[in-house]
């Protein structure tokens, strides 16, 4: 009887190996950006950080620019997936959604000094790099628009006097500012940053949110 070998498992194994290698290199790029900054990150030190050869880096990404774009895309997708999951978990009420989004921004899975430093490195380059602007800008627009809609809902519910669009901008800017403070390593902790963000939204939406939770 002729036995035809099943190559499906082999193909899956090769695919998984490729994805694993790419993820190793992206993680090593984040490490390098956090340690060295944008300009001093090279394919060589990324390869060293991943424990792989320079040839492997070239095989998967071809150039430093392609590696950096892939890293930014990964971080952007990770962040978007994280806050969208927080929305899904929160339930239908706008106040619960805002409470969940604020906590998500300071979750230890997403808010680390390593990742914040890498974000800062990309933000510093975004002005002169249209690809970075597009990746960062689209993520920011979607995030802020979500807050605009939630602020509009709470304004209608609570008869607040604010304008939803500038209020949403203020909330998003406040949380970005806390991220920068965390990155500067000036003694602010993730827990204190979260507490400050909660104080802010509790002051903005006193009929819906207190420092201890959603009313």
Average pLDDT over residues 96-121: 95
- Contacts by 48-54, CB closer than 8 A, 24 or more apart: 50/24, 50/25, 51/24, 52/21, 52/24, 52/25
Q: How much is the pTM?
A: 0.84
Out of 1-10, 54-63, 89-98, 128-137, give the one with best mean pLDDT.
Answer: 89-98
Q: Which percentage of the chain shows pLDDT scores above 90? A: 69
Q: Which CATH number fits domain 68-214: 2.130.10.10, 1.10.3470.10, 3.20.20.80, 1.10.357.10?
A: 1.10.357.10
pLDDT tens-digit map of 7-58: 444 344 444 488 888 999 999 999 999 999 998 999 999 999 999 888 888 8
9-62 fold: Arc Repressor Mutant, subunit A (1.10.10)
The residue ranges of every structural domain in the chain are 9-62, 68-214
pLDDT tens-digit map of 19-31: 888 999 999 999 9
Provide the pLDDT for residue 62: 82
DSSP 5-65: ---HHHHHHHHHHHHHHHHHHHHHHHHHHHHH-STT--HHHHHHHHT--HHHHHHHHSSHH
How does residue 132 score in pLDDT terms, banded at 50, 70 and 90?
confident
pLDDT tens-digit map of 153-203: 999 999 999 999 999 999 999 999 999 999 888 899 999 999 999 999 999
Provide the pLDDT for residue 81: 95
Cα–Cα distance measured from residue 67 to residue 82, given in angstroms and rounded to the nearest whole number:
22
């Amino acid at each position: 009887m002729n036995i035809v070998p099943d190559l499906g498992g082999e193909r899956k194994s090769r695919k998984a190996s490729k994805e694993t290698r790419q993820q190793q290199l992206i993680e090593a790029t984040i490490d390098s950006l956090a340690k060295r900054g944008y300009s001093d990150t090279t394919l060589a030190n990324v390869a060293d950080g991943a424990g792989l050869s320079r040839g492997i880096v070239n095989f998967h990404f071809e150039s430093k620019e392609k590696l950096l774009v892939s890293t930014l895309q990964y971080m952007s997708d990770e962040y978007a997936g994280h806050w969208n999951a927080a929305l899904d978990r929160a339930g239908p009420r706008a106040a619960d959604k805002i409470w969940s989004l604020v906590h998500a921004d300071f979750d230890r899975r997403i808010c680390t000094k390593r990742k914040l430093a890498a974000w800062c490195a990309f933000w510093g380059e975004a002005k002169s790099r249209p690809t970075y602007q597009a990746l960062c800008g689209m993520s920011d627009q979607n995030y802020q628009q979500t807050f605009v809609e939630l602020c509009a809902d709470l304004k209608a519910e609570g008869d607040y006097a604010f304008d939803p669009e500038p209020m949403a901008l203020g909330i998003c800017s406040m949380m970005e500012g806390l991220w920068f403070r965390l990155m500067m390593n000036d003694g602010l902790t993730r827990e204190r940053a979260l507490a400050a963000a909660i104080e802010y939204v509790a002051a903005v939406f006193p009929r819906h949110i207190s420092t201890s939770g959603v009313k």
